[in-house]
Amino acid sequence: MKTPNIPENAPFNDIQRAWLGGFFAGMHSHMLQNTDSVNNADARTINILYGTQTGNSESIANDAAAVAKSHGLLANVKSLDDIELDMLVTMEYLLIIISTYGEGEMPDNAQLLWDAISADSSPKMEQTKYSVLALGDTSYDLFCQAGVDWDNRLSELGADRLYDRIDCDVDFDDPTEAWISSVIPMMAEGATVSVVASDSEANNKPKYNRKNPFSTKILSNRLLTSETSSKETRHYEFSLEGSGLTYEAGDALNVIPQNCPDLVADIIKAIRCNGDEEQPIHSELMTLSEALRTHFEIKLPNKDLIQEIANRSGNQEFNKLIKSEDRNELSKYLWGRDILDLLLQFPAIDISAAEFIALLKPLQHRAYSISSSGKMHPESVHLTVASVRYRSHDRDHKGVCSTYMADLVNENTDVKIFFSPNTSFRVPEDDTLPIIMVGPGTGIAPFRAFLQERQYRKASGKNWLLFGDRNKATDFIYQDEIEAMQTNGVLTRLDLAFSRDQEEKIYVQDKMRENGAEMFSWLENGGSFYVCGDANYMAKDVDKALHEIIEKHGNKTADQAVEYVNQMKKEKRYVRDVY
Ligand SMILES: Cc1cc2nc3c(=O)[nH]c(=O)nc-3n(C[C@H](O)[C@H](O)[C@H](O)COP(=O)(O)OP(=O)(O)OC[C@H]3O[C@@H](n4cnc5c(N)ncnc54)[C@H](O)[C@@H]3O)c2cc1C
Ligand SMILES: NC(=O)c1ccc[n+]([C@@H]2O[C@H](COP(=O)([O-])OP(=O)(O)OC[C@H]3O[C@@H](n4cnc5c(N)ncnc54)[C@H](OP(=O)(O)O)[C@@H]3O)[C@@H](O)[C@H]2O)c1
Ligand SMILES: Cc1cc2nc3c(=O)[nH]c(=O)nc-3n(C[C@H](O)[C@H](O)[C@H](O)COP(=O)(O)O)c2cc1C
């Protein structure tokens, strides 16, 4: 067998490319010694199951599948909830790629299978060889907990951990590549392989990504809330002209921000530098000032930095707080405090520019639910963003990315963006089916996109929007568009919940309950139920209301309502985009 040349545009990094070249060279002798068939149907299948909320794990699963196929393996890529427990326990080769959501919770499309496998009655899995890749963010207390839970449970059930779990922080590209290029060869060992190296996934890979974002210009930055509102929510449009990029309603757009120059200057002053100190960043020299503006997270304090400030401050009380088992106390202390607040609180600490930078995390992109339909607006992409501004500890604080877009970007700025597909958050393929969209606040974003999409497709299915915010007079964003959609018949039903227009708060879930009978009839008619916006409170309360409605209007017990909702989840008729 001839060692194939790995094409230049194949989806591998240099390490993988070198390794793959070696693999194919080695495969010749391996096949001579070991393999009596190269029939595709006989090749080993590895099951690559992902749990995702915003698409990262799914995209990594597809990368792993591409590498597996290039090793002659068959790859079965599925979301965890597309698999029944009976099927899972028969799998011999299993890779789990899963993110963590909420506070250490499973992402939505992994919950059902997790409930099944974590039950005492779950069968053993002694014939399974597996490895887990966990995605997470170290700024959360329960880092990568969903991955940890899966890893522990599979091991408890007797499955053989072929390769140790890797827990990835927000910069997951390198550890992910390392995991794939280690675990796939282990899964391939001794396998009957197919000779067909598929690169179909390579062709589907997005042209622009985190490491290679698209540089665009802003076309529109418009205030949606009124000048007198207690909130600031803005509408943005970015150009896609010449990019060849396309997107679907339901996808997210990631924006790579730059830090506010005023905050950079204040931090430089607080660490008693002048900003001109040259620093090596990714083998390039740049000034401290430039590095802080473009490369590092300088707002949200990370654990290492907090610990180092505590060490250097010598402050006993602060050190006690950090070491305390009671995480709530530390969270309470940190709420509303940014890195500058900590530096100002302990002005005596001595830290060099290089030491300070070494303690910072890389500046991350922020995700935004796209508020336009790519079919109606192929040349641009729209966002609906609440500007984060608050006063605490005697200073005005600004969210990095939301105010980068609001205050710093102008028509001459190059803004770096890339898309994250969210394949489960989609309007139904069947245009005749009804949809219910619950999206208070900026949660309305993807539903503006859904309505545009349904309008463009001339979908005959009914559309019901439940929207709300603080006050009708100042916060009824997109009011003109929404009313026009009611007039032209695209929006069949609209329920509004303005929470602060009366003494008692009224929320979207109150509107759901008021109209429970009709909502249940939409669900019975095959309706999909979508939720977008705040994950911490709203989405949980809406979930509770949904169960109550099904129980009451479907004459069901609480357990039957849970079953009903689970079935909706399996059919992808209950999907959420919550943050
Ligand atoms: C999939 C997804 C979709 C999203 N879609 C949207 C969307 O459509 N629209 C939208 O507006 N956002 C959306 N977000 C949120 C968005 O990604 C950012 O988190 C948000 O814009 C804030 O980012 P920032 O950089 O401006 O603020 P950051 O610099 O990240 O600061 C935010 C932090 O500031 C602190 N903070 C905020 N408010 C206060 C306060 N009042 N008091 C004290 N501390 C406070 C908190 O620690 C908070 O975590 C989405 C998130 C995800 C994951
Ligand atoms: N990471 C960030 O910094 C960041 C930035 C932007 C948004 N977000 C998240 O995204 C969410 C959306 O923000 P937003 O400004 O668009 O709107 P929001 O703050 O969620 O407010 C929208 C409406 O929802 C109401 N609401 C509050 N609690 C609710 C509950 N339990 N159930 C139902 N409705 C509830 C609010 O009422 P009241 O306010 O009157 O109670 C308001 O009327 C935020 O809550 C936040 O979690 C985070
Ligand atoms: C609302 C929200 C909650 C999160 N909660 C956690 C958490 O508790 N622990 C953690 O390690 N990561 C947490 N994360 C980080 C995600 O796991 C991380 O961003 C991951 O890359 C997402 O991958 P996905 O796109 O496959 O869902 C959270 C992210 C968001 C937006």
Q: Convert the pLDDT of each residue in 490-532 to its tens digit.
A: 999 999 999 999 999 999 999 999 999 999 999 999 999 999 9
Is 491 in contact with 400 (CB distance < 8 Å)? Answer: no
C-alpha to C-alpha distance for 88 and 82, rounded to whole angstroms: 10
Ligand 1 neighbour 523 (Cβ under 6 A): no
For ligand 2, the distance from its centroid to the CA atom of residue 533, given in whole angstroms, is 7
CA-closest residue to ligand 1 atom 35: 336
In percent, how much of the chain has pLDDT > 90?
85
Which stretch of 5-14, 457-466, 473-482 has the lowest confidence by average pLDDT?
Answer: 5-14
- Ligand 1 within 6 A of CB of 233: no
How many of the other CB atoms lie within 10 Å of CB of 4? 14
Protein residue with its CA nearest to atom 18 in ligand 3: 136
- Give the model's pLDDT for residue 23: 37
Give me the pLDDT at residue 3, please. 36
169 lines ligand 3 (CB under 6 A): no
Describe the chain by its helix, strand, coil percentages, rounded to 5. 40, 20, 40
Say if CB 521 and CB 426 are below 8 A apart. Answer: no
pLDDT band at 207 (very low <50, low <70, confident <90, very high): confident
pLDDT for 40 equals: 67
Q: What's the pLDDT tens digit per position in 291-328? A: 999 999 999 999 999 999 999 999 999 999 998 888 88
Q: Whose CA is nearest to atom 2 of ligand 2?
A: 388
464 CA distance to ligand 2 middle (Å): 20
Beta-sheet strands, E only, within 52-114: 74-79, 93-99
Judged on CB neighbours under 10 Å (0-12, 13-18, 19+), 110 is buried
140, 172, 253: residue to mutate for ligand 3 pocket, most atoms within 8 A of CB: 140
Please check the confidence at residue 6 and state whether its pLDDT lies above 70: no
Distance from the alpha carbon of residue 576 to the mean position of ligand 2, in angstroms: 15
Measuring from atom 22 of ligand 2, which residue has the nearest CA? 441
Domain ranges of the chain: 14-204, 214-258+365-420, 261-358, 435-578
Give domain 435-578's CATH architecture. 3-Layer(aba) Sandwich (3.40)
Q: Using CA atoms, how far apart are residues 93 and 282, in angstroms rounded to an integer?
A: 38
Output the CA 536–ligand 2 centroid distance in Å. Answer: 9
Q: How would residue 204 be classed by pLDDT, with cut points 50, 70 and 90?
A: low
Ligand 2 pocket, Cβ-based, cut-off 6 angstroms:
231, 386, 388, 399, 440-442, 468-470, 499-500, 505, 507-509, 533-534, 536-538, 541, 579
> Which residue, by CA, sits nearest to atom 4 of ligand 1?
368
Q: Which ligand is nearest to the CA of 397?
A: 1
H or E, element range at 307: helix 303-313
* 194 confidence band (pLDDT: 50, 70, 90): confident
How far apart, in whole angstroms, are the C-alpha atoms of residue 312 and residue 319? Answer: 10
Q: 579 alpha carbon to ligand 1 midpoint, in Å?
A: 8
Q: Where are the alpha helices (DSSP H) in 359-507?
A: 400-403, 445-456, 472-475, 479-487
For residue 445, report the distance from its CA to the centre of ligand 2, in Å: 13
52 lines ligand 3 (CB under 6 A): yes
Statement: 14-204 belongs to CATH 3.90.700.10: no
Q: Mean pLDDT in the chain?
A: 92
Per-residue pLDDT, 196: 57
Rounded-to-integer distance, Cα 156 and Cα 150, Å: 10
CATH number for the domain running over 261-358:
1.20.990.10
pTM: 0.91
**Ligand nearest to the backbone CA of 368:** 1
Could you say which ligand is closest to the alpha carbon of residue 52?
3
Going from the Cα of 336 to the center of ligand 3, the distance in angstroms, rounded, reads 21
Ligand showing the shortest atom-to-Cα distance for residue 338 = 1
* Distance in angstroms (rounded) separating the CA atoms of residues 486 and 479: 11
From residue 288, alpha-carbon distances to 209, 278, 291, 357, 415 in Å are 27, 6, 5, 8, 22
Tell me the one-letter amino acid at 374: G
* CB distance 421 to ligand 3 below 6 Å: no
Please tell me the distance from the alpha carbon of residue 43 to that of residue 60, in angstroms, as a whole number. 22
Ligand nearest to the CA of 337: 1
What DSSP assignment string belongs to 338-392?
Answer: -HHHHHHHSTT----HHHHHHTSPBPPPEEEEB-S-TTT-TTEEEEEEE--EEEE
Encoded tokens for 245: 């990029």
Q: What is the mean pLDDT of residues 356-378?
A: 97
Strand partners, 575: 530
What's the confidence (pLDDT) of residue 121? 96
Q: Mutate which of 100, 141, 366 to test ligand 1's pocket (most atoms within 8 Å of Cβ)?
A: 366
Rounded CA-CA distance 543/574 in Å is 10
Question: For the sheet containing 528-533, what is the strand order?
Answer: 493-498, 463-469, 435-438, 528-533, 574-578
Phi first, then psi: what are they for 69, rounded to 5°?
-65, -35
Helix H or strand E encompassing 468: strand 463-469
Pocket lining: 536 vs ligand 1, CB cutoff 6 Å: no
Position 27 scores a pLDDT of: 39
Q: Is 241 in the pocket of ligand 3 (CB under 6 A)?
A: no
Ligand 3 center to 306 CA (angstroms): 21
Mean pLDDT of 403-414: 97
Determine if ligand 1 sits within 6 Å of the CB of residue 399.
Answer: yes
pLDDT at 276 over 70: yes
Q: Rounded distance, CA 406 to CA 416, Å?
A: 15
Distance CA 365, CA 375 (A): 25
Q: Is the CB of 364 under 6 A from ligand 3?
A: no
Q: What residue's CA is closest to ligand 2, atom 39?
A: 470
What's 231's DSSP letter? Answer: S
Query: Within a 10 A sphere around the Cβ of 414, how many other Cβ atoms?
Result: 11
Chain-centre distance for alpha carbon 528: 21
Beta carbons of 454 and 427 less than 8 angstroms apart: yes
Q: Over the Cα atoms of the chain, what is R_g?
A: 26
Give the residue from 297, 335, 328, 333 showing the smallest Cα distance to 315: 333
CATH number of 214-258+365-420: 2.40.30.10
Please list the residues that pair with 435 across neighbouring strands: 463, 528
- pLDDT range class, residue 13, cuts 50, 70, 90: very low
Ligand 3 centroid to residue 25 C-alpha, Å: 39
452 and 373 in contact (C-beta within 8 Å)? Answer: yes
What is d(CA 298, CA 479) in angstroms, rounded to the nearest whole number?
37
Q: Answer yes or no: is the C-beta of 575 below 6 A from any ligand 3 atom.
A: no
Is 57 a pocket residue for ligand 3 (Cβ < 6 Å)?
Answer: yes
Q: How far is the CA of 233 from the centre of ligand 2 (A)?
A: 12
- Supply the pLDDT for residue 206: 74
Q: Which of 81, 47, 42 is nearest to 64 (CA)?
A: 47
Shortest-distance ligand to the CA of residue 512? 2
Decide: 65 in ligand 1 pocket, CB within 6 A. Answer: no
Between 199-203, 260-264, 398-402, 480-484, the lowest mean confidence (pLDDT) is in 199-203
Does the structure show a pLDDT above 90 at 563? yes
Question: How many Cβ atoms from other residues are within 10 Å of residue 217's Cβ?
Answer: 14
Q: What is the pLDDT of residues 410-460, one digit of tens each?
A: 999 999 999 999 999 999 999 999 999 999 999 999 999 999 999 999 999
Asked whether this chain's domains 14-204 and 435-578 adopt the same fold, the reply is yes
Q: What percent of the chain shows pLDDT beyond 70?
A: 91
Q: What DSSP line would sit under 109-145, residue for residue?
A: GGHHHHHHHTSTTPPP-TT-EEEEEEE--TTSSSTTH
Quick: pLDDT tens for 63-89: 999 999 999 999 999 999 999 999 999
Q: What does the pLDDT read at residue 18?
A: 40
* Amino acid 39: pLDDT: 59
d(CA 234, CA 256): 17
Q: Specify the residue with its C-alpha closest to ligand 3, atom 1.
A: 579
- 450-474: average pLDDT: 98
Taking the CA atoms of residue 266, residue 227, residue 537 and residue 557 in that order, the dihedral angle to the nearest 10 degrees is: -170
CB 535 less than 6 A from any atom of ligand 3: yes
Please write the tens of the pLDDT for every residue from 330-344: 889 999 999 999 999
Ligand lying nearest the CA atom of residue 80: 3
